[in-house]
Amino acid sequence: MKKEATALKHDPQTLPSALQEIPGLLQGKKPAVFLDYDGCLTHIVKDPDKAILSEEMKKTLQQLAEVCPVAVVSGRDRANVAKLVQLDNLYFAGSHGFDISGPGNMHTEPGGAKAALPALEAADKTLKQKLSHIDGAMVERKRYAIAVHYRNVADNHVEEVKKVTADVLQQHPELKEGLGKKIIELKPNLDWHKGKAVLWLMEELDLNKPDIIPLYIGDDITDEDAFAELQGKGIGILVGEHDDQTAAGHRLESVEEVQEFLQKLTQHLTTPAHAGMENNL
């Protein structure tokens, strides 16, 4: 059995800025751009429903999608993130890539997660019962995941939230733990994640070509799967930092820098040298 290569990890503070030289990053190729939503396209806020895309960022995404493939890859439900973005020329991979849609009435659910739906239903019910007495704890049910948020929980109750969640996970071997910023997720216990979703989209959209390079922008621990998958094949850009080392090769400091980078990328792709390149969507 072939052993997968271990991704090289870096200290986020040592990464070069992705803003400095876009032509060097692209190596003369056209990018296929994949982005997380929260923390990349919008700031992280206490209430996930209030993470609203700015009109400026929306316009930037729309313009970029006119010159290269663009997909939002999120832990959010696909329908939720698609509603927040409201652009019909983008692809959306929700629930960490278990639910994907896009132009041309594309809609598919790769990864085999449907078998985990009964376990997710039962775990969601138990978690809501057992965490209802803890102020600030929020159990967010998604189609193929459950997010237990403890960002607004008092410090002396955080360990209780973690223990209850761990106990529920132990009761459902069909599910596995996923970690994020102040979030514990229960996800189908399958070999599928954001990185696999990116590779699936590259294959499905016929983007595995010598003149196309995948570029992934993310800020969270869950984005590390995509950074790892793209090492040696594409570009990984970490936004800010998280509590671990990263498999990304470049960095952007903030949502504002993400927008600036996307704008510069669009300008680069619309220069005379690139204007004639076909959009592969």
Same domain, 101 and 196: yes
Percent of the chain whose pLDDT exceeds 90: 79
Domain membership flag for residue 1: no
pLDDT band at 48 (very low <50, low <70, confident <90, very high): confident
State residue 92 phi and psi, 5-degree precision. Answer: -130, 125
Alpha-carbon dihedral sign for residues 11, 17, 22, 24: negative
Same domain, 106 and 27: yes
Domain membership flag for residue 119: yes
Q: What is the mean pLDDT of residues 145-154?
A: 94
Tens of pLDDT, residue by residue over 92-130, are 999 989 999 999 899 999 888 889 999 999 999 999 999
Is 36 known to be catalytic? Answer: yes
Tens of pLDDT, residue by residue over 52-102, are 999 999 999 999 999 999 999 999 999 999 999 999 999 999 998 999 999
Same domain, 78 and 120: no
Domain membership flag for residue 6: no
Same domain, 156 and 79: no
Domain membership flag for residue 281: no
DSSP letters of 18-67? Answer: TTS-HHHHHTT-EEEEEE-SBTTTB---SSGGG-PPPHHHHHHHHHHHTT
The boundaries of the domain holding residue 22 are 12-111+192-275
Instruction: Please tell me the predicted confidence (pLDDT) of residue 21.
Output: 82
Same domain, 198 and 106: yes
Instruction: Please tell me the predicted confidence (pLDDT) of residue 1.
Output: 39
Write the CATH number for 152.
3.30.70.1020
The domain total for the chain is 2
Tens of pLDDT, residue by residue over 173-214, are 999 998 888 999 999 999 899 999 999 999 999 999 999 999
Write the CATH number for 232.
3.40.50.1000
State residue 10 phi and psi, 5-degree precision. Answer: -130, 155
Same domain, 265 and 210: yes
Same domain, 48 and 158: no
Amino acid at 193: H
Measured in residues, the chain has a length of: 281
Q: Determine whether 263 is exposed, middle or buried from the number of CB atoms within 10 Å of its CB (0-12, 13-18, 19+).
A: middle
* pLDDT of 240 strictly over 60: yes
Candidates 11, 36, 167, 219; catalytic one: 36
